[in-house]
Amino acid sequence: MTKNLELTKWVDEVAALCKPDSVHWATGTEEEYQDMLNIMLDAGLATKLDEKKKPGCYLFRSHPSDVARAEMRTFIASRKEEDAGPTNNWIDPVELKATMTKLYDGCMSGRVMYVIPFSMGPIGSPIAKIGVEISDSPYVMINMRIMTRIGTAVLEALGENGEFVRCLHSVGKPLAAGEKDDGWPCVPNVAEKYISHFPEERMIWSFGSGYGGNALLGKKCFALRIAGVQARDEGWLAEHMLIMKLTSPEGKSYYITGAFPSACGKTNLAMLEPTIPGWKVETIGDDIAWMKFGEDGRLYAINPEAGFFGVIPGTSMQSNPNAVKQTLSNSIYTNAGLTDDNDVWWEGSGLPAPDHLIDWKGNDWTPESGEPAAHANARFTTPAAQCPVIAPEWEDPAGVPISAILIGGRRQATIPLVNESTDWNHGIFLGSIMGSEITTADITDKVGQVRRDPFAMLPFMGYHMGDYLQHWINIGKKTDADKLPKIYFVNWFRKDEEGKFMWPGFGDNSRVIKWIIERLSGDAKAETTAIGNLPLPDAIDISGLDITLADMEKLLTVDKEAWLAEIESIRENYLSYGNRLPAELAAELDKLQARLNEM
């Protein structure tokens, strides 16, 4: 228990509203973790995988309505609508609280209410922040134990007067007397789920979903949306970025972060196996970076998380050998296929499909079924410490000094393989225009159009996107220009006329990163163009690759017509920010247009 009166008062209020059968304060011990798993095994919600093949691993199957972040049901309930900005769903906080209070009334009856104190960042570190998640889900308990640091030690760090972010979560499925869960509990109607943020109160209310970012509130809800608001107010950055360490053959190490939209291979990049001899990559984080200024005026990053919540389909010894090794033990699998010998299988695993398995919906499956065995957003939850290439300093409370920031999305054309920004504001401009082509059929009228996703934060913004971009510009004014990381716009997804990827990606991305590191140390040549500094075609090491210099030229040219069309689309996007568009970015766009017109 805790001596923090604010916390006990809040827990009592929530218990009075949600009316659970009992309240359990998470201690964070291994024994408690096992107890939670046993509760779910007994209830038929979990399957223990084969102890020899996957020691300490469990499989869960969610409800078909509850398989991904619910972006349309994610709300930023700032007091003023204009503070949520054009990219967020807004509801008046008074109205939203009234609606959700009714939903929460009695929502935990028949269940245990878990109080989960958690630390984002190493416990007690000056840059860590504390949250408390109240949840009626033992699945949340076990996942939070992997993804964050939880339990008694956090309460000790919180002390009597420490501040914490209130994170309230319910699956929204009360149980009548004697009733048991019949499968994954949640609210099956997506339109009745709520993932709500009250930025001024640093508070999160989630209802109706038990899956991923909707329910593990330390991740996207706290570490990005709420921490983003804290970062704006306190002068630091809370970003959707991996953090990696690169060591050159000469033994010199550099730390870089990378912002990529979901499904662009961020986890793969964070732990890639370089294909160029002598280079070494180690991982610090695969999803979130908190960056603060050190006394020397440089930006230092920490990974606030303690685990990885990665997409399973497509993860293989070819795409990400380290993730495959990392998830062999002590990991949670959700929505993968279950083989007859109690192992997991998924599309893109690189392993032959078994003749029979149980698919993510719990049905018999054969290769002829015509449906995927694993859901496209099936996930593993796995301790970061198990990553075979985790950097020894990954938990250093001081963070690691960042030399470069990569940004990029999925673009078939226009955006070159790599483009170095010419200064900070130009880098922020590139960050503001990044995004991916829409490929999913859900927005059929927009397929092929670019969804602008500034710094990959579109789904994770806690306030107005225009103010966020201004915050990035302001960060650049806080230190000397030469102490700021350099920003590189990369694009691994260029296609040729036949629709074939032009760049091999995966481990070969190390070749581009090598060029970036050589730029930082002044050893690589670049050509200044209208859009930024591009490598000369022979500057990137392609030895051993089935790529010609002519291909490299295509990957590294400025397509004037395509960029002029791009400018029109950027202007349209910028209009949506109204008067909150930073003047510096409007100026960057005009300068780009002028430079292109001179070409």
Q: Which is nearer to ligand OXD, 214 or 425 (CB)?
A: 214
Structure tokens at 570: 């950027």
Cβ-contact 112, 23 below 8 angstroms: yes
Which residue of this chain has its Cβ atom nearest to ligand OXD in the complex?
262
Q: How far is the CB of 287 from Mn ion (least distance, A)?
A: 4
Q: Which is nearer to ligand OXD, 287 or 566 (CB)?
A: 287
- By rule CB under 6 A, what string of x and - marks binding of each residue 30-69 to ligand OXD? ---------------------------------------x
Q: How far is the CB of 261 from Mn ion (least distance, A)?
A: 8
Q: Considering CB distances under 5 to 8 angstroms, the limit depending on partner class, which of Mn ion, ligand OXD, none binds residue 467?
A: none
Q: Considering CB distances under 5 to 8 angstroms, the limit depending on partner class, which of Mn ion, ligand OXD, none binds residue 305?
A: none
Among 298, 273, 272, which residue's Cα sits nearest to residue 478? 298
Q: Considering CB distances under 5 to 8 angstroms, the limit depending on partner class, which of ligand OXD, Mn ion, none binds residue 410?
A: none
For 555, the 3-state DSSP assignment is helix
Q: How far is the CB of 142 from ligand OXD (least distance, A)?
A: 17
Cα 523 to Cα 125: distance, rounded to the nearest angstrom: 37
264 in catalytic set: yes
Q: Which is nearer to Mn ion, 311 or 556 (CB)?
A: 311
Q: Which is nearer to Mn ion, 2 or 148 (CB)?
A: 148
Q: Does 258 bind ligand OXD (CB under 6 A)?
A: no
Q: How far is the CB of 243 from ligand OXD (least distance, A)?
A: 14
DSSP per-residue codes, 356-372: -EE-TTS-EE-TTS-S-
Among 380, 253, 363, 240, which residue's Cα sits nearest to residue 313? 380
Q: Which is nearer to ligand OXD, 443 or 594 (CB)?
A: 443
Cα 31 to Cα 35: distance, rounded to the nearest angstrom: 6
DSSP per-residue codes, 68-92: S--GGGEEE--SSHHHH-TTSB---
Q: How far is the CB of 240 from Mn ion (least distance, A)?
A: 6
Structure tokens at 208: 């109706």
Q: Which residue has the tokens 């250093």?
A: 396
Which residue of this chain has its Cβ atom nearest to Mn ion in the complex?
287
- By rule CB under 5 A, what string of x and - marks binding of each residue 549-568 to Mn ion? --------------------
Q: How far is the CB of 237 from ligand OXD (least distance, A)?
A: 17
Beta bridge partners of 419: 489
> Which candidate in 107, 186, 221, 264 is catalytic?
264
Q: By rule CB under 6 A, what count of residues binds ligand OXD?
A: 5
Structure tokens at 197: 């943020």
Q: Considering CB distances under 5 to 8 angstroms, the limit depending on partner class, which of Mn ion, ligand OXD, none binds residue 588?
A: none
Q: Which is nearer to ligand OXD, 262 or 339 (CB)?
A: 262
Beta bridge partners of 195: 74, 206
Q: How far is the CB of 436 from ligand OXD (least distance, A)?
A: 12
Beta bridge partners of 526: 535
Site for Mn ion in 108-167 (CB under 5 A): none
Cα 455 to Cα 407: distance, rounded to the nearest angstrom: 7
Structure tokens at 406: 């990569």
Cβ-contact 464, 84 below 8 angstroms: yes
Q: Considering CB distances under 5 to 8 angstroms, the limit depending on partner class, which of Mn ion, ligand OXD, none binds residue 213?
A: ligand OXD
Q: Considering CB distances under 5 to 8 angstroms, the limit depending on partner class, which of ligand OXD, Mn ion, none binds residue 537?
A: none
Q: How far is the CB of 287 from ligand OXD (least distance, A)?
A: 5
Helix (H) or strand (E) holding 283: strand 280-285
Q: Which is nearer to ligand OXD, 161 or 440 (CB)?
A: 440
Would you say the C-alpha torsion 315, 316, 319, 324 has a positive or negative sign? positive
Catalogue the E-assigned strands of 78-128: 112-120
Q: Which one-letter amino acid corresponds to residue 402?
A: I
Site for Mn ion in 269-298 (CB under 5 A): 287
What DSSP character marks residue 450? E
Q: Which residues contact 532 (CB under 8 A, 6 or more apart)?
A: 419, 420, 421, 422, 426, 430, 489
Q: By rule CB under 5 A, what count of residues binds Mn ion?
A: 1
Site for ligand OXD in 298-317 (CB under 6 A): 309
Q: Does 239 bind Mn ion (CB under 5 A)?
A: no
Q: Which is nearer to Mn ion, 289 or 332 (CB)?
A: 289
Q: How far is the CB of 459 from ligand OXD (least distance, A)?
A: 7
CA angle 411–416–418, rounded 5-degree value: 110
Site for ligand OXD in 259-288 (CB under 6 A): 262, 287
Cα 12 to Cα 7: distance, rounded to the nearest angstrom: 9
Q: Does 213 bind ligand OXD (CB under 6 A)?
A: yes
Q: How far is the CB of 308 from ligand OXD (least distance, A)?
A: 9
Q: Which is nearer to ligand OXD, 287 or 395 (CB)?
A: 287
Q: Is 348 exposed, middle or buried (0-12, 13-18, 19+ CB in 10 A)?
A: middle
CB atoms within 10 A of CB 277: 9
Q: Which is nearer to ligand OXD, 73 or 111 (CB)?
A: 73
Among 501, 486, 485, which residue's Cα sits nearest to residue 417? 501
Q: Which residue has the tokens 């020899």?
A: 52
Among 331, 285, 339, 284, which residue's Cα sits nearest to residue 312? 331
Q: Considering CB distances under 5 to 8 angstroms, the limit depending on partner class, which of Mn ion, ligand OXD, none binds residue 62?
A: none
Q: State the residues that interact with Mn ion by CB under 5 A.
A: 287
Residues forming contacts to ligand OXD in the complex (CB under 6 A) are 69, 213, 262, 287, 309
Catalytic positions are 264
